[in-house]
Structure 1
Amino acid sequence: MTTPRVPDMRRSYLRVRDVDLYCEDSGGVGEPILFLHGFFFDGRMYEAQIAALRDRYRCLTLDFRGQGRSGHARGGYQLEQLTADVLTVIRRLDLAPAHLVGLSMGGFVGMRIGAREPDQVRSLTLLNTGATPHPPAKYPLHLALTAVARLLGPSPALVLRGIEKELYGAPFRTDPTREPERQAWRRRWAQADRSSLANTMLGMMVRPDIRDELPAVSVPTLIVAGQLDVEMPPHLSREMHALIPGSRLVELDGVGHSSTLEDPARVTGILERFLAEIG
């Protein structure tokens, strides 16, 4: 499967506090959709969705500080700072109310904004994410991967196997026809700033439980889970669905943690229908 290339995106850097954040913007007069990526990825994980939606919506991506093509900051990698960064971008680009689409870490940020700043949000899509604290059982593995990646970089085979097992479901991870896509992300990971990645991981690992905030989400909300997701298992999505009034839940069979990459057509179709229905 070839990932669609998204032509003619406006590329820019926005200075937000102490860091230059990389943004891409399709422009246009449609309602804005701001796509927030998962840890270890960047805005390019939404290329398929943007290619399908950009003729009707203004599509924007933002690379979080220290990831993708954004600059590296000395600090501020906790989720509260990432959330503040996104709110600054929304206000500076006059996007409110924006449709927010967040996967994993991007979902952590999106749900915080949805619960606390409802006037900034038109709708909320939460992909492969959850509102619970980092599971204690994962601390040893994630601390080990963080330490090895910080010392050796994310390219050693041992680190890559551990990362891909967490990030991809087996069908995508083992499909030989999808190897070019996996290789493209490996090359990007090899160029990543090790210190920034380690600090981002540690910031996610100390995130608090915000399930008590979810009933405050009042905007239309779509929740998508991957049935093979070992990083954010489906029960976390079911719990969010029970807590967010009027939310919709879709579970994808055969899909792991990176749904927009693993099954772009189904994710795009689900998102298109959701956006069309809320008008």
Structure 2
Amino acid sequence: MTSGLVYGGSHMAGRTTEALFQEMDRRLYGESPMGTLEAMNRLGQCPLAFQPGSSWAYGTSADVLGAVVEAVSGIRFGQFLQQELFEPLNMKDTGFWLPESIRGRLAKTYQDNGHGELTLYTGSHLGIVHQLDRDPAFESGGAGLASTIDDAAKFTTMLMNDGSLNGVRILRPRTVQYLTTATLTERQYKGFESWHTLSGFSYGNQMRIMTDSRKAGLIGSNGEYGWDGWLGPYFCNSPQDGLTFLFMTQRKDAGTLPITRKLRNIVFSAL
């Protein structure tokens, strides 16, 4: 997230990127939906919020990495994930869309109606077909996968086991160590420290990483890592405690909910 690519904002970089995603949403159900490579090539024409490497901002860096995987592997991003991760880890319920035979198991998504109540959300966001009822043209590196607690636990356990699960090695131990290490320089961290709810954390390789448990607003241990999502899914691994915490919900603009913090504090305080 030190590339200068962003999701939105009032500056030129944010406005042009937001306009691109709006176009992607408009084309989602038409005859020419925007594919992964087209979308990211278009993104490459957008201005940056800052010189790459000079700061930090949460944005579309992961989406670009998905397109890089397609370009290097010669296959679609979703197919690459299926071959290299989902099949080896026996993650049968994870993918960018759901066949009709299992689509009825997809949890409904809710949104705040502005009056303290929840209503169903059926819209589209960031080029994602929210109903997951078709093979999407755009397979996002930063969003859009459907999964289950059981499948997610196989992935998180693989990371906790230094890259292997049930005798299948996905990553080398030193790769896992690199992926779960904070990599921000002092200069880059100045862009991250404005994320006040992540006080006590740093960032690296698409993950938050706890670096000072004394400053964190959560009970935890240094070295824990993980991420959360727009609809509220939350994951953390704490190698020091030998603990994985997974929580899934489906609420628009959820991020990390108060209930998520309370639940993980209960779990960590019991250690």
TM bin, normalised by shorter chain, reads 0.3 to 0.5
Q: TM (normalized to structure 1)?
A: 0.32
Q: Which has the higher strand share?
A: 1
Greater Cα radius of gyration, structure 1 or 2 = 2
TM-score after normalising by structure 2: 0.33
Task: Please identify which structure carries the higher helix content.
Answer: 1
Q: Which has the higher contact order (CA 8 A, sep 6+)?
A: 1
